[in-house]
Amino acid sequence: MFNPYKILLVGCGKMGSAMLRGWLAKGISPTNICVIEPHSEDVSLLRSDLSVSVLSSPEELHADYEPNIVVFAVKPQGMKDILDPYCGDLTSTAVVLSIAAGRNIAFFEKIFGVGAAVVRTMPNTPAAIGRGVTAACANNNVNPVQRAACQDLLEAIGDVVWVDDEALIDPVTAVSGSGPAYVFLMIECLAHAGVVQGLPLKIAKELALATVAGAGELARVSDETAETLRVNVTSPGGTTAAALEVLMAEDGLGVLMDQAVEAATRRSRELSG
């Protein structure tokens, strides 16, 4: 691991703030972190009394500043222009960690050179509460110390899974990157179905949200698999069995989920570059 960390965080919006909050909570000294954010006055975390140095552009960095990790947490659109000023000394010895959706390792190697150490990641929105899951893929230039540092920094926003084959980032995007939206839809659909059966909307929403959150947490902390937990709550001939007969039919949720994840994987491939 780097000792000390010298982290340059480029972009401090939703994801960048979540990471910064996690790093500080982990005990990383704010004096080891520099943030580049053009509109820092709009970022509530940066308005609080932190000793993180906040600059509005890389031109304001000291000429001899040498980060050991540069985290790009900016939108993928227009990213080449944002990255260009970081070519050269700033990134020649640092590991570049990107959380940008759809920007592949080759994209960064083209900008920073084929010798650049690059880690491409795909986090998801529960990162905002430290409960995300991030898939990471490193190129061959990333050394074990740099990889351990990336793991450490990403753990501040949740679990971390490494994949060796970058092509897997597309299905990762379809499962965990976009996945929170599927779960939010599940909450909406469950509440709507309750209303159709006569429940007041407010109660249906409360029941659906607490059920999805509680079941998710139970699945997370339990030693049993999701399948076993499902079987355990399904009495033969009971109410859950009646519902699962519909959900698990040949044209049920399994098929729909396959189609949805396939569509998202395809779209992720189309957008990559």
Ligand X SMILES: NC(=O)c1ccc[n+]([C@@H]2O[C@H](COP(=O)([O-])OP(=O)(O)OC[C@H]3O[C@@H](n4cnc5c(N)ncnc54)[C@H](OP(=O)(O)O)[C@@H]3O)[C@@H](O)[C@H]2O)c1
Three-state DSSP state, 158: strand
State the binding string over 23-52 for ligand X (x if CB under 6 A, else -): -------------xxxx-------------
Number of residues interacting with ligand X: please give it, by CB under 6 A.
Answer: 24
DSSP code per residue over 64-96 = T---SEEEE-S-STTHHHHHGGG-SHHHHSSEE
C-alpha radius of gyration, the chain, whole number: 22
At 264, give phi and psi (nearest 5°): -70, -40
- Residue whose structure tokens are 């990333």: 142
User: How far apart (Å, rounded) are the C-alpha atoms in residues 217 and 93?
Assistant: 41
To ligand X, the closest distance from the beta carbon of 177 in angstroms equals 5
Query: Among residue numbers 67 through 96, which ones bind ligand X (CB under 6 A)?
Result: 73-76, 82
> Is residue 101 at the binding interface for ligand X, with CB under 6 A as the rule?
yes
Hey, which residues does 134 pair with through a beta bridge? 160
To ligand X, the closest distance from the beta carbon of 206 in angstroms equals 25
To ligand X, the closest distance from the beta carbon of 56 in angstroms equals 8
> Is residue 11 at the binding interface for ligand X, with CB under 6 A as the rule?
yes
> Is residue 272 at the binding interface for ligand X, with CB under 6 A as the rule?
no
Candidate ranges 7-15, 140-148, 200-208, 259-267; the one touching ligand X (CB under 6 A): 7-15
Residue closer to ligand X, measured from CB, 13 or 130: 13
Residue closer to ligand X, measured from CB, 101 or 215: 101
To ligand X, the closest distance from the beta carbon of 223 in angstroms equals 30
Query: For 228, which DSSP code?
Result: H
To ligand X, the closest distance from the beta carbon of 58 in angstroms equals 8
Structure tokens belonging to residue 201: 């909307």
**Cα pseudo-dihedral 15, 16, 22, 23, rounded to 10:** 150
Residue closer to ligand X, measured from CB, 15 or 204: 15
> Is residue 146 at the binding interface for ligand X, with CB under 6 A as the rule?
no
To ligand X, the closest distance from the beta carbon of 249 in angstroms equals 32
**Nearest residue to 109 via CA among 121, 94, 96:** 96
Among 100, 150, 156, 172, binds ligand X (CB under 6 A): 100
Among 6, 13, 30, 65, binds ligand X (CB under 6 A): 13
To ligand X, the closest distance from the beta carbon of 124 in angstroms equals 5
> Is residue 126 at the binding interface for ligand X, with CB under 6 A as the rule?
no
Residue closer to ligand X, measured from CB, 10 or 111: 10
- Contact status, residue 130 vs residue 158, Cβ threshold 8 Å: yes
Measured CA distances, 177 to 23, 127, 171 (Å): 21, 11, 9
Alpha helices in the chain (DSSP H): 14-25, 44-47, 79-83, 89-92, 105-112, 144-155, 169-172, 179-196, 201-221, 226-232, 239-247, 253-271
Residue closer to ligand X, measured from CB, 74 or 149: 74
The residue ranges that bind ligand X (CB under 6 A) are: 10-16, 36-39, 73-76, 82, 99-101, 122-125, 177
